[in-house]
Amino acid sequence: MTYEPVPLPDRVQMPPEASLESVRAFRDYMRRRHSVRDFSDAPVSREVIEACIETAGSAPSGANQQPGISSRSAIRQ
């Protein structure tokens, strides 16, 4: 198998000042996050579940090989 990088057409280039502002905002946001180990029985819409699966399926993987499962098969389960 040969690795061929995939171009990133939606890559955003920012000036240094905007980049610093953006990374600080993200850092501050991440500092407010927390893990939840208590779950609710409140219903979750199918659209939210599909969006979560789609997002997880687009996460980077080793050499961008994406060995995961397809969104549709995960939703059916």
Q: Is the dihedral of CA 23, 37, 61, 7 positive or negative?
A: negative
Confirm whether 13 is domain-assigned. Answer: no
Number of domains in the chain: 1
Confirm whether 28 is domain-assigned. Answer: no
Confirm whether 10 is domain-assigned. Answer: no
Q: 4-55: per-residue pLDDT in tens?
A: 877 777 778 899 999 999 999 999 999 998 888 888 999 999 999 999 988 8
Task: Report the predicted TM-score, pTM, of the whole model to 2 decimal places.
Answer: 0.45
Q: Which of 44, 69, 73 is nearest to 56 (CA)?
A: 69
Confirm whether 48 is domain-assigned. Answer: yes
Provide the residue range defining the domain that includes 48: 43-58+69-77
State residue 51 phi and psi, 5-degree precision.
-65, -40
